[in-house]
A and B are shown apart, each in its own frame.
Chain A
């Protein structure tokens, strides 16, 4: 391996870790919080939604105006350009002002503009990032639409500008466009807190939770947090409503039960009506085991934990 590829690989790794770090904010409370950065794809989709909304408004107004005969055919393109301009300029700035950094499209996709330093969004920042949108979003879009009319050097200039507008957010760790960098903002996914019941808790159907299932400590040494949480996902999904899918779910559950039984060496066979209870009991026991291990500094990420710690010891 040449030193060139080596340093390139290291730079790539450093970039990847910075991208992961970009989702974290550090509030004065001293506990790092997670505010995942919205990247180019979702931001582009929100832009399209906003565009559709403004275009519908535009068409409605143009139809009303033409019905009132306020302009004739010779100036229709100028009027449309003017109206579009006067709809979109205030639309973005005013919605983001009123909804604290969300346009209609951003609300639908649950993303939000935040100040890069974690403080409140200032009016200046919102106005600036939406004025630069003219040059960074609408100008390239117009250039693309009118590309066939451009002469040689104009076409090259247009390609250059479009490339810059695309590459800046794709290369930036926070997926900021130039206007975001100028205004000191970036866009995040608005986290949605979903409160789900405790799985390892006894519930109404407590007879299902019979102490039939008792696991020895050595039976619980096989799995790590990853497998535990995968099992959690399966249990949380629960049996679906549709009959056909219900069958598939029961099938999956049977396979999972079988795999766990073989892995931990649980001799007793589990009838189908007790599989759910078995998995729940196993989940609770496994979680208790792993959590108490973790309290003593033995974090087990996955089922390879034994090999990994052995490897370190050697």
Chain B
């Protein structure tokens, strides 16, 4: 060591600690690539230890050193080490399984009342649409968007209506295409809107759910009037139970956000929204998953199962499965 070296305090400071910093740097990159849970006990202990020492070094260096490169190195090193120590990777394994076995059903149960509210809303819509149709058949055109009806209006003959119920459309468009077009159908859009609009103080979500019920009620009334109500029921059941369930769940998610914004309680509004977001996000994923299942049922199963009774059995059977999943799974025993 020359005289010059000994004289420069910051250079001495650096020379004494350099090895530890390099060691920390190696440990940090190891922790980032392999995660701390797979590192040995000593390595993890050293990582934390060296990190604390490095923060002290940084504090001193800021005071005594004018070496820009050294300061930048220490700033970057400590920040990087901070992330590995305080914000390590959360375990990814079993995320899906945890969601479906615990998170989602628990969220569904917590939001049971809201889902019921969605169901009631939809039910009232169906009832109103049904009764209004019998009062005056022109209501059908008010409730039903023309592109959705696809020619199945009060003007169509009973035979046409029956053909639509027991037709096999998948032959022309290809299975995947049919699946895709069903998934991006009217109801998916409704579910998205219902969820998103819930944020604006609940009302749009409820109104939209009700309107969707009106459409369904009028459509049902048309077929009941022709005496083929049961056939339509089967056609709707096979995917509709799941699909309408999804809309109700999405509605509950929207209501959750809306009610959090309206009645924040002891929390601030933003905080309350963030809290409600936990369940709302889970409900949104459940709704999306149900819509995908519904599209599969609509795209494949409805063409394969042409018998009315089996359509009922399949549709409501799957509905019962959803319900039992939501009610029974993921209960934690309190010991």
Contact = CB atoms under 8 A, between A and B. Distances in A.
Contacts of A194: 69, 72-73, 76
Contact of B83 (A69, A114, A228): A114
A124 B278 contact: yes
Interface residues of A, number: 69
A221 B7 CA distance: 18
Contacts of A198: 11, 14-15, 67, 70
Across the A-B interface, give the 3 residue pairs with the lowest CB-CB distance, nearest first.
A75-B177, A191-B76, A82-B180
Interface of A: 25, 27, 29-31, 33-35, 65, 69-72, 74-76, 78-79, 81-82, 97-98, 100, 112, 114-115, 118-124, 127-128, 131, 135, 181-184, 190-196, 198-202, 206, 209, 225, 228-229, 232-233, 236, 284, 287-288, 290-292, 294-295
Contacts of A206: 2
Contacts of A120: 86-90
22 contacts: A27-B86, A31-B55, A31-B59, A33-B79, A72-B174, A75-B180, A78-B184, A79-B180, A97-B92, A114-B87, A120-B89, A128-B277, A128-B281, A182-B274, A194-B73, A198-B70, A200-B4, A229-B68, A232-B68, A284-B4, A287-B8, A291-B65
A200 B7 CA distance: 11
B78 interface: yes
Given A118-B86, A127-B281, A135 B73 contact: no
Contacts of A228: 66
A193 B178 CA distance: 53
Contacts of A75: 173-174, 176-178, 180-181
Interface string B1-45: 010110111110011000001100100000010000000000000
Interface residues on B, range: 35 or more
B236 interface: no
Contacts, number: 179
A156 B7 CA distance: 70
A200 B175 CA distance: 73
A118 B80 CA distance: 12
Nearest to A83: B180
Given A25-B79, A195-B25, A198-B15, 9 more contacts: A31-B78, A74-B177, A76-B177, A78-B184, A118-B87, A120-B88, A191-B80, A195-B21, A198-B70
B8 A284 contact: yes
B329 interface: no
A314 to B, nearest CB: 28
B334 interface: no
